[in-house]
Chains A and B, each alone.
Chain A
């Protein structure tokens, strides 16, 4: 059998000891064969990707033509011809870019468009989950998007802000740049202005920073020019209201009392592979992971001292956890929505857990009762999550004046795919930037 075919059988683990030794000898001598080996390994990697993609989409049954091996020569000729066409510059249709993603600061996206800085953006939707991103339109207009926001790129001269806030900077050549919102639109006459879309209130607020813009009301046809003194306008279902900038920096008159209790450093994580914990478990993080095999599971636990809280008065209890970005594994291996469960420890034998305890010593879901669940999209790397449930409040009331332990686990596992799945990380009290777990107790 020839060497090239032996390479594939080697990659499939099907070569005998003698055959392996023979292949080794040939590879040592023949650089061309080594090239073939590298290509074969890359082909193997590609095949595996294809296998996984197809397994993930059962609907996409391979639509093979029935050409079998004896048509091989025609195929190669066709391939060569296609290559020549490409070389001649006849490139397949591609949507024209309307903008470039100029920069992003701590941006987390959920988007069908590329989201690496420098990427060219074709018409489509961008959904910024967190952070700030700057988009430069080919017309010269620059739009700074603030999360959470949804933006549709329409043309080099037009964008739609569906939710969130943006600041638009329009240099001379892009005069006439249009920003549409669900409630109205603004035409920019060479200026800088800001837009904020409030989806709940169904209104959009346009604020002029400098220059001149025209704000249109779609149903009444009303047009308002903002320049000089008139610097902000709110567009809603009925009308455009000119606003005074000073008064609108509203404060939120919340009269309720919220007390926040931290864990005071009492947090811990455990992983089933205890022998690897020195590598994967860090004091600053609460790590949570669930895998199909269970081999790489992580769970976290933390306690709150309730002796200072008057739970009799409290009518709402919320557990707040801060998600921090994780580089352990790949989000692509996770389902689009990941569900997490919070349990209250009831097994008193586990109440004295140590921060660095082994898996079997650590409190788990079986040692307690479910208090609530929350979900995190796989695209999200940061944010505040948690639960606010009756069960949590009841559990806290039942343990008044005591120290309670809560257990955090991921209930969802991974999906079929390449590479290790993501481990979710939440900040512990030792985290340098984000705040550790907090209990927020609200009383009248």
Chain B
């Protein structure tokens, strides 16, 4: 059925696709730990998904999917780091490896919990702050636009954004702790 010789896997395309979609948020967050921007993350995921499909025969059952997929994705991300390094200031390879090691142990449920906590925590911000928090994903220039609208410098707005995100992460963290306790 597939374009490869390996047919030993018991998973069909449909099952693979469902697994991939289900675990995509976790994979995306994992890749984000290593790569410096979302374009690179999207490229890594696209390429890794092709490799996963080709090597699906290695996968014993669907429970093993996420850790297995992370190994493939990690390799893909690290291979893209060098290219990213050319146009970005980036953390060292040693630190990226450490981060990847630790992020590998994150479970699918953790990502779901984080997302839930995030939805809750976001409601605690004013509409304006929510808009700023989401602005970096609306394309280049959205943060600049908002800053200009308020008569502030872009730099000042990025500093504010950094602080808002830190606050958001703190809220998420305390939500997660509360869930565990």
A41 to B92, alpha carbons, bound, how many Å? 17
Q: Is B148 an interface residue (CB 8 A)?
A: no
Residues in B neighbouring A131, C-beta threshold 8 A: 14
What's the least CB distance linking B124 to chain A, in Å?
Answer: 5
Q: Is B72 an interface residue (CB 8 A)?
A: no
How many residues of A are in contact with the other chain, CB < 8 A?
91
Residues in A neighbouring B159, C-beta threshold 8 A: 9
Partner of A327, one of B20, B162, B167, B168: B20
What's the least CB distance linking B89 to chain A, in Å?
Answer: 4
Residues in A neighbouring B152, C-beta threshold 8 A: none
Q: Is A318 an interface residue (CB 8 A)?
A: no
Q: Is B75 an interface residue (CB 8 A)?
A: no
Q: Is A96 an interface residue (CB 8 A)?
A: no
Residues in B neighbouring A381, C-beta threshold 8 A: 13-14, 17
CB <8 Å contact, A45 and B32: yes
CB <8 Å contact, B169 and A8: yes
A20 touching B122 in the complex, CB below 8 Å, given contacts A49-B25, A64-B127, A84-B178: no
What's the least CB distance linking B146 to chain A, in Å?
Answer: 13
**Contact residues of B with A, CB < 8 Å?**
1, 3, 12-14, 16-18, 20-22, 24-25, 28-29, 32-33, 36-38, 42, 45-46, 49-50, 53, 88-92, 94-95, 98-99, 102-103, 106, 110-111, 114-115, 118-127, 129-131, 133-134, 136-138, 158-159, 161-163, 165-175, 177-179, 181
Selected interface stretch from A72-80, A209-217, A298-306: A72-80
Chain A CB within 10 Å — which of B89, B111, B136 has the most? B89
Chain B CB within 10 Å — which of A12, A38, A115, A116 has the most? A38
Partner of B50, one of A17, A66, A87, A279: A279
Q: Is A58 an interface residue (CB 8 A)?
A: no
A41 touching B29 in the complex, CB below 8 Å, given contacts A12-B162, A420-B46: yes
Name A381's closest neighbour in chain B (CB-CB).
B14
CB <8 Å contact, B158 and A285: no
Name A108's closest neighbour in chain B (CB-CB).
B14
Residues in A neighbouring B103, C-beta threshold 8 A: 38, 41
Quick one: which of A12-56 are within 8 Å of B by CB?
12-17, 19-20, 23-24, 27-28, 31, 34-52, 54-55
Q: Is A69 an interface residue (CB 8 A)?
A: yes
A71 touching B124 in the complex, CB below 8 Å, given contacts A13-B36, A38-B103: yes
A282 to B53, alpha carbons, bound, how many Å? 14
The 7 closest A-B pairs by CB, nearest first: A83-B178, A51-B137, A45-B29, A325-B13, A282-B3, A8-B165, A20-B89
- 22 A-B pairs whose Cβ atoms sit less than 8 Å apart in the complex: A5-B165, A10-B91, A11-B32, A11-B165, A19-B89, A23-B91, A41-B33, A42-B106, A43-B169, A51-B138, A62-B130, A65-B123, A68-B125, A80-B174, A83-B179, A115-B18, A285-B3, A327-B13, A327-B53, A332-B21, A381-B14, A419-B24
Residues in B neighbouring A52, C-beta threshold 8 A: 137
Quick one: which of A215-262 are within 8 Å of B by CB?
none
Residues in A neighbouring B129, C-beta threshold 8 A: 64, 68-69
A43 touching B172 in the complex, CB below 8 Å, given contacts A5-B162, A329-B46: yes
A420-B45, A433-B1 known, 8 other contacts, Cβ within 8 Å: A11-B165, A12-B162, A14-B158, A34-B99, A39-B172, A40-B169, A419-B45, A420-B42
A47 touching B118 in the complex, CB below 8 Å, given contacts A28-B94, A330-B24: yes
Q: Is A328 an interface residue (CB 8 A)?
A: yes
What's the least CB distance linking B119 to chain A, in Å?
Answer: 7
Partner of A12, one of B16, B22, B122, B136: B136
CB <8 Å contact, B126 and A66: yes
CB <8 Å contact, B169 and A14: no
What's the least CB distance linking A319 to chain B, in Å?
Answer: 23
Residues in A neighbouring B29, C-beta threshold 8 A: 41-42, 44-46
CB <8 Å contact, A35 and B102: yes
CB <8 Å contact, A39 and B173: yes
